[in-house]
């Protein structure tokens, strides 16, 4: 018996130590810390940032066409069966005949270097400008990914806070229910109430325990989602803390210029205009400086010294390329580019209208949820008072158990409705901040999340 007791104490001590170690290693994050960690570690955001770096090298690739181009060639030929040419015999003092002659040597080798430098190419100029402009597009895409990431982190964080409040309320209800069960058990022993009353309270207590278990499960799922966004290992315990900062006032004004999606369309439209100019530049001539220098050797004896004869050659000059007629190909490409630009303009018009509607809807939701939250808060206070009155009346034997159960159910429903209204209020404010452009402005102005 003593061994079993010692073993039990040992296991209990181990569990306590493990619980303490887990608590010590728990990553406790405020909202700002969670956002910063997600921005720092999220793989999707890092992948988008790599597009910026990749585009920088794409810009260098385009610029390289404006730099001098140098190429070298080396050749070796074995004319093991030289071609034969028929010439008039007069060339060799044999009039009236034809003579078969083989020209050249069996072996030929050569080395040539070519250099060119673009002096004037309107298409290249526009292409370099478009390449530089595209960097802003990739940077804005990175910002959009960051904005969406922050929105999701804040959204989950607020849900976690609401679930924690729900857990606190359910635990309080369980404590009250267990007190009632103790009282009713004593009353049942004295024959004051029936056993069915005690069983009814036990059923309610079981329902509360189930509700708490569901809340705990929801909390774990939300924590796992937050870990994914922050790229934290699944085995790492994570807990949230209070926000610890004054709430940011939500603006009730729409700022379309701060909207990231509209800004992306503006970049795309500008790049499309440059694409049209690039096509139109193809109608203009191109001027390049060219140079060529080489050496060619010929011999019939490849490995004998002094048998190879070599000759040098070189040239330099200007090359002017003038487009004359391409079957109206460039004209068709210009028309296609202009159509794509028109499509982007229509998309922007539709997006601006959609964003405006989302802003109006979000603002109305905020106002509506404010009224609902205030009403539910007052309703919860009333339900709490009614429950206390019913509890007192029941314990004094004035009111039946059914009245107390009804009051308790009303209190639980009021608590649920209040928490739902609070969460909907917070989410509506977050949606309003995003649709109005305020969220993107905060991200730009707040250095920790840049």
Task: Calculate mean pLDDT across residues 395-410.
Answer: 83
- Among 182-191, 305-314, 352-361, the range with the most confident prediction by mean pLDDT is 352-361
pLDDT confidence of residue 249: 73
Which is it for the CA torsion 87, 92, 95, 97, positive or negative?
negative
140-171, pLDDT tens digit by residue?
999 999 999 999 999 999 999 999 999 998 99
Assess whether pLDDT exceeds 60 at residue 9. Answer: no
Residue 1 binned pLDDT confidence (cut-offs 50, 70, 90): very low
What is the C-alpha separation between 418 and 413, in angstroms, rounded? 9
Assess whether pLDDT exceeds 50 at residue 369. Answer: yes
Locate 271 and state its tokens: 């790049």
Triad 239, 242, 247: Cα angle to 5°: 140
Assess whether pLDDT exceeds 90 at residue 16. Answer: no
* Percent of the chain's residues with pLDDT above 70: 92
pLDDT confidence of residue 300: 85
> Phi then psi for 312, rounded to 5 degrees?
-100, 150
Confirm if 13 and 106 have CB atoms less than 8 A apart: no
267-296, pLDDT tens digit by residue?
999 999 999 999 999 999 999 999 999 999
pLDDT confidence of residue 243: 56
Locate 293 and state its tokens: 């220098």
Locate 255 and state its tokens: 């700022």
pLDDT confidence of residue 346: 97
The mean of the pLDDT values for the chain is 87
Residue 56 binned pLDDT confidence (cut-offs 50, 70, 90): very high
pLDDT confidence of residue 13: 43
Assess whether pLDDT exceeds 70 at residue 447. Answer: no
What is the C-alpha separation between 58 and 77, in angstroms, rounded? 39
Task: Calculate mean pLDDT across residues 113-121.
Answer: 95
CATH of 29-74+105-298+308-449 given 1.10.10.410, 3.40.50.300, 1.20.1600.10, 1.10.10.10: 1.20.1600.10
pLDDT confidence of residue 3: 42
What is the C-alpha separation between 255 and 272, in angstroms, rounded? 25
* H helix count then E strand count, the chain: 9, 8
Query: At 377, which helix (H) or strand (E)?
Result: helix 329-395
Instruction: Please name which of 356, 197, 338, 327 lies closest in space to residue 262, comparing C-alpha atoms.
Output: 356
What is the C-alpha separation between 100 and 188, in angstroms, rounded? 133
Instruction: Please name which of 339, 331, 340 lies closest in space to residue 282, comparing C-alpha atoms.
Output: 331
> Phi then psi for 283, rounded to 5 degrees?
-75, -15
Q: For the stretch 383-410, what's the b/e string if a residue is b when 16 or more beta carbons lie within 10 angstroms of its beta carbon?
A: beebbeebbeebeeeebebebbbebbeb
pLDDT confidence of residue 69: 95
Residue 398 binned pLDDT confidence (cut-offs 50, 70, 90): confident
Residue 89 binned pLDDT confidence (cut-offs 50, 70, 90): confident
Record the pTM.
Answer: 0.81
């Amino acid at each position: 018996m003593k061994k079993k007791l010692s073993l039990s104490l040992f296991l209990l001590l181990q569990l306590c130590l493990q619980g303490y170690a887990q608590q010590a290693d728990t990553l406790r994050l405020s909202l700002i810390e969670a956002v910063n960690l997600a921005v720092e570690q999220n793989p999707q955001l890092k992948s988008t940032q790599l597009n910026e770096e990749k585009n920088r090298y794409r810009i260098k690739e385009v610029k390289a066409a404006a730099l001098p181009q140098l190429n070298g060639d080396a050749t070796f030929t074995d004319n093991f069966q030289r071609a034969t040419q028929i010439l008039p015999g007069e060339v060799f003092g044999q009039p009236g005949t034809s003579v078969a002659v083989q020209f050249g040597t069996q072996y030929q080798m050569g080395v040539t270097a070519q250099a060119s430098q673009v002096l004037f190419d309107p298409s290249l100029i526009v292409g370099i400008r478009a390449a530089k402009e595209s960097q802003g597009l990739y940077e804005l895409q990175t910002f959009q990914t960051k904005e969406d990431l922050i929105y999701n982190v804040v959204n989950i964080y607020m849900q976690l806070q609401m679930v924690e409040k729900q857990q606190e309320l359910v635990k309080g209800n369980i404590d009250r229910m267990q007190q009632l069960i103790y009282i009713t058990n004593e009353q049942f022993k004295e024959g004051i109430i029936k056993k069915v009353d005690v069983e009814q309270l036990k059923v309610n207590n079981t329902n509360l325990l189930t509700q708490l278990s569901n809340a705990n499960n929801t909390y774990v799922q939300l924590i796992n989602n937050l870990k994914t966004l922050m790229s934290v290992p699944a085995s790492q315990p994570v807990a949230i803390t209070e926000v610890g900062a004054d709430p940011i006032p939500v603006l009730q004004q729409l700022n379309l210029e701060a909207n990231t999606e509209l800004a992306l369309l503006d970049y795309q439209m500008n790049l499309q205009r440059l694409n049209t100019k690039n096509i139109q530049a193809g109608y203009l001539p191109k001027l390049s400086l060219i140079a060529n220098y080489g050496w060619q050797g010929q011999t019939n004896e490849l490995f004998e010294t002094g048998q190879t004869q070599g000759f040098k050659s070189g040239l330099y000059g200007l090359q002017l390329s003038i487009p004359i007629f391409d079957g109206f190909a460039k004209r068709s490409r210009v028309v296609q580019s202009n159509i794509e630009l028109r499509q982007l303009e229509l998309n922007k018009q539709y997006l601006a209208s959609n964003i405006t509607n989302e802003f109006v809807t979000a603002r109305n939701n905020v106002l509506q949820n404010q009224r609902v939250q205030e009403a539910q808060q007052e309703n919860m206070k009333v339900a709490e008072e009614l429950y206390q009155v019913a509890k007192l009346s029941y314990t004094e034997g004035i009111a039946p158990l059914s009245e107390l159960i009804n009051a308790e159910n009303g209190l639980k429903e009021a608590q649920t409705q209040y928490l739902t209204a609070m969460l909907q209020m917070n989410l509506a404010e977050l949606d309003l901040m995003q649709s109005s452009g305020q969220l993107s402005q905060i991200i730009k102005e707040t250095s920790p999340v840049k």
